[in-house]
Chains A and B, each alone.
Chain A
Amino acid sequence: MSRKANQDWIEAIAEKAGAAPAEVLKNLSARGIHASPVAASPRHLLIRHLWFSGVKTGVPDPGAFNFDWPDLGRGLWAMVTDRNLRGKSSVIEVVKWLLRGRPSDGLQADVRSWLQQCRLRFALDNVDHEVRLESASPVSGRLVRILPQEEVTLGAFDGETAFEEVMSDFFLREFALDTVARWMGGAEDEGGRPVLHGWPSLSGAMFIGTNYSALLGDMPPDSGMTTPLMQMYLGLPWVSTLTAATTAEQGAKRDHEARERTRVAGAAGRQRRRDEIHAELLRKRAERDATPSDEQVRAQIAAKQAELGAASSEELGLRRRVDRAEEAVRMAEDAHSADRRELQTHIDSAAAGAVFRVLDPSCCPRCDTAITDDRRKREQVTHHCSVCGEPMEEESDEESIRAALEARAKASKSARDKASQMQGEEQTKLDAVQQRIDVLRRTISALSIRLADYDAWRRLDVEVAQLEARLQEAAFDPEPKSVEGPVAAVLKATVDEIRKRVQVLQHEILDEVSQEIVRYATRFGMSNLSSAVLKGNTHLHLTKGGSRTAFGKCTPGEKLRLKVAAVLAMIRVAERRHVGRHPGLLMIDSPGAQEVAREDLDQLIGGLEEVSKEFSHLQVFIAARSSEAVLSHVPSQRMRYAKGDAFLW
C-alpha cells in the first residue's frame, strides 16, 4: 500500500509539474522529502517517578536537598505552594530538562548549579525507562529501558550535546516524529536560514508555560512552529512530507529571489556600464569620422597630383605656344619697325633730295674746282652731271614708293597686332594654368600636412575598436535570468499535492477538535463560548457571548484555558480516531498572580480534575499557588504541597 501510495504521489506531482516521475523522485529525495502516507498511532508517555538531589547555596535555607516523587500515574497531579518562588516551576523545568536533554531558559541558573543527581522514570506504552544523571554538572548519565528481568542502556551520554542527542533520537524514533525544518528570516542574503526543529521544539506540545501567545507549544507564533506542531500531533498522514516540501520550496524560492536580486542589481550595473561605454563609443566614432583617414587623404593627394600632372603638361604646351607667340610678336615687331624705318627714311630722303637737287654744285667736292656755266648748260641739255659727267637719273616716283612703303608698314603693323593678340591670349591661358597649378600645389601641401594627423586618426580608430570590444564584453550576461526551473515546479507541485492530501483529512479532524475545544473550554469555565473554529494554520476563531473573536484577543486566563482545551481536544480526537502523536502528558506551569485571575485558574483545575477521568490515558501536572479550588479538587496524595514559607524542596 505504501509502495502504491508512494507511486501515486510521485506520478501526481510529475503530472502537475510536467516532469518525468524519475526526475521528481530524484529531486525530492535529494531534499529529504519522503512519503509519509501512514497516519501515526498514538504512543503514551507516563511519568512514574521523579527524583533529584543536590545542595542549595546562597539562599536563606542553604544545604542539601532531596526531592523524591514516586508512584506517579495517570490523572491530575499538582505542585502547590502557599507562596510564590517556592520551587514549583523548577520541578517542571527539571522534568523538561530530563525529557528533552536540553535545559530551557526557564531552568534558573542557580537551581541548575545546585542539582547533582536527577532521575526520571517514565513509561512509554507501559515499558518503563529511566533517565539517570549521575552528574548534573557537567552532565553525564544514561538512558535505560527497564525490563522485568533487566535494564538495557539505550544511550549513555557525557556532556550536554550527547545528552540532547540521546534523548532526541530516542523520542523522535519512539513517537515516529520527524525533525521540522523551518525557514527563518528572509532570503539567505538577508540573513535568512533554515532552522531544524528537533525534539526540544516538538516536545513543546507537552508543556504550557507562562507565554500564551501561541495556541500550541511554548514557541512564539513567528517561529512558524505552531502549525507543524499541530499537524504533527494530530498525526495526519503526509504531514511530515508537507512540512519538508514547504520548507524546501520556501528555501528554493528565497534562493531564487536572492539570485534574482543579485542578477537584477548586476544587470542594472552592467546596463549602466554599457550605456557609458556606448556613449563614449558614439563620441569617439564621431571624432574619428571627423578626422580624415590616411586613405582618404592619400586618395585626395593622388587625385590632386594627377590634376597637377595634367596641368603641368598643359602648362608646358602653353609655355611653348607663348614662346612661339612671343617670337612671332618679336619678328612682326622687327618687320614693322623696319618698315616704318624704311618709310621714314624714304620720307626724309625724298625731302632731302628735293633740298639738294635745287642746289647746283658750285665746285667739285674733290678738288674744289668751280663749276663753269658751260658745264651747267651742258648738264641741262645732256642730263649728264656737271661735276662728274655721269648721266643723271630721272626723278623716281616718290609718291608711289611712299604709298607702297606705307602699305607695307600698315600690313606689318596688323601682323604685329595679330601676333600680339595671340600672344596675349596664350599668355592668359598660361596664367590661368599657372594659377591652377599654384592652387593645386598649395592644396597638396596642405593635405600632406594633414597626413601628419593620421596618427590621431589611427589612435581614435583603435579606441573605437577597443570600445566596441568592451561594449560586446559588457553585453555578455554571465547570469541569465534565473528561472525557477523544473525543481521549483516540482516543489510547488509537491506542496500543492501534499497539501491537498493533508487538507482532506485535516478538515474533518479540525472540525472535531474545534468542537472538543468548545466543550473543554466550557468545562474550564468559559461558559459564554459558543463556537470555535480551528484553522489549518492554527488560527482559532471564536464566538464568545455572541461576538466573534479570536484566540489572540482573549484575556490571559482565557488563553490559558483555551491552550489546555486545545491539547486535550487533540488528545481526545486522537484517542477516538486512533490517530495522533500526542503522548498524553501535559505539564502546566503556574501562571503569574497578576496575569491570570484566581477564579480562572480554579475553574481550570476543577475542570481538569473531572475531564482527566474521561481519558483512557492522560497525565496532567499543574504547578499552582494553593487555593481552595486546588486543594479541594486534587487529592492530597496527588499533590506536593509546601505550606506557609516552606519550599517544595
Chain B
Amino acid sequence: MPARSPYRDAVRLLHILVTGAEPLTLPHVSGALGILRGEVKLHAYDFWIRNPDYLAEELLDLYVATGARRYLDQAEAILASEEPDIRRLPMIRFRFGAYERLDDTLALLKSRDLVRVTGNKSGVRVDEWDFLVMPRAYDLAAGIEVDFPVLSWYRERAALVHEVAGGRSGSALKNRQYQQADYAETELGGVIPSITPRVSARVRELKGRSGSV
C-alpha cells in the first residue's frame, strides 16, 4: 500500500466538494457558496474516484441503461490508461459501504478555511454532517488547474463521478455501490478487491456487441 499523502487526499476532497456541492442560492452567514450534504455522499464520490474499476463498471451499466456511447468510451479509456492500477487507493469495507475516516484530510481543508463542517443536530447527537464550500475553495480549485496541470485529473474525475452520480442521494449511491458483487462479498474490515479483469471483459463484450450492431 503506497504511502499516504494528506495533501493529495486534500486536493481530491477539495475537488469532490467543489464539484459535488450544490450552489447556495441564498447568501449564507458563513459566506459559503455551496454545500455538499452528508458524509455518505462524500464517501460515495471518494469511492468511485479511488476505485476506477468500479466507476468503469458503473459507466458500463449506464451505457447499457442509456445506450449513450460515451459511457462505454469513458469506461474503455479508464481501463486503457491503467488507472485502476495506478490511481487505485484501496478502501476498507465497513458496515454498509466503503469507509475511511476523512477527519485528518478535512482538517487540512478546514484550517485553510476552504470548507466548514456543520451538523444537523437532533438533540445532542449530530445525525448528518454537511460541508459548506467556501469561496476560497473555488478559487484554489481554479488556481490548481492553472498552476498544477498534473493535478487536473482529480478535477476531471470528480466531474465524471458527479455526472455518474446524477443527483442521486448519498445513500442511493452507497446502495448502488454495495450492489456491486465483489464489493458485497468483501468481509467487513476487508480491503475491497479490484474488479478490473471482469470489467475489462465486459468492455470487450459490449464493444464487440456494439460493433456488430
The chain A residues found within 8 Å of chain B, CB to CB, are: 337-338, 340-342, 344-345, 347-349, 351-356, 359-366, 368, 387
Contact = CB atoms under 8 A, between A and B. Distances in A.
Nearest to A364: B111
B7 A365 contact: no
Interface in B6-34: 7-8, 10-11
B3 A345 contact: yes
A368 B106 CA distance: 13
A371 B7 CA distance: 20
B91 interface: no
Contacts of B106: 365
B2 interface: yes
A345 B2 contact: yes
B102 to A, nearest CB: 12
A341 B7 CA distance: 16
Contact of A345 (B5, B111, B113, B140): B5
B149 to A, nearest CB: 9
Contacts of A362: 111-113
A352 B110 contact: no
B138 to A, nearest CB: 14
B106 to A, nearest CB: 8
A348 B111 contact: no
A649 B34 CA distance: 187
A401 to B, nearest CB: 11
A365 B108 contact: yes
A314 B154 CA distance: 52
B181 interface: no
B8 A345 contact: yes
List 3 A-B pairs, minimum CB-CB distance, nearest first.
Answer: A365-B107, A349-B5, A352-B7
Nearest to A334: B85
A328 to B, nearest CB: 18
Interface in B102-144: 106-108, 110-113, 140, 143-144
A352 B7 CA distance: 5
B113 A356 contact: no
B80 interface: no
B140 A366 contact: no
A356 B108 contact: yes
30 contacts: A337-B86, A338-B2, A340-B82, A340-B86, A341-B2, A341-B86, A342-B2, A344-B87, A347-B150, A348-B8, A348-B11, A348-B151, A348-B154, A351-B11, A351-B148, A352-B5, A352-B10, A352-B148, A353-B5, A353-B7, A355-B140, A355-B147, A355-B151, A356-B10, A356-B112, A359-B112, A361-B112, A363-B113, A364-B111, A365-B106
A183 B213 CA distance: 113
B111 A361 contact: yes
Nearest to A368: B110
Interface of B: 2-3, 5, 7-8, 10-11, 82, 85-88, 106-108, 110-113, 140, 143-144, 147-148, 150-151, 154
A345 B9 CA distance: 10
Contacts of B10: 352, 356
Given A354-B148, A361-B112, A365-B110, A349 B7 contact: yes
B134 to A, nearest CB: 10
Contacts of A352: 5, 7-8, 10-11, 148, 151
A403 to B, nearest CB: 16
Contacts of B112: 356, 359-362
A366 B104 CA distance: 10
Given A340-B85, A365-B107, 16 more contacts: A338-B2, A342-B2, A344-B86, A344-B87, A345-B3, A349-B7, A351-B144, A352-B5, A352-B151, A354-B148, A355-B143, A362-B111, A362-B113, A363-B113, A364-B111, A365-B111
Nearest to A346: B5
Contacts of A337: 82, 85-86
A341 B5 contact: no
Contacts of A387: 111
B86 A355 contact: no
Contacts of B85: 337, 340-341
Nearest to A349: B5
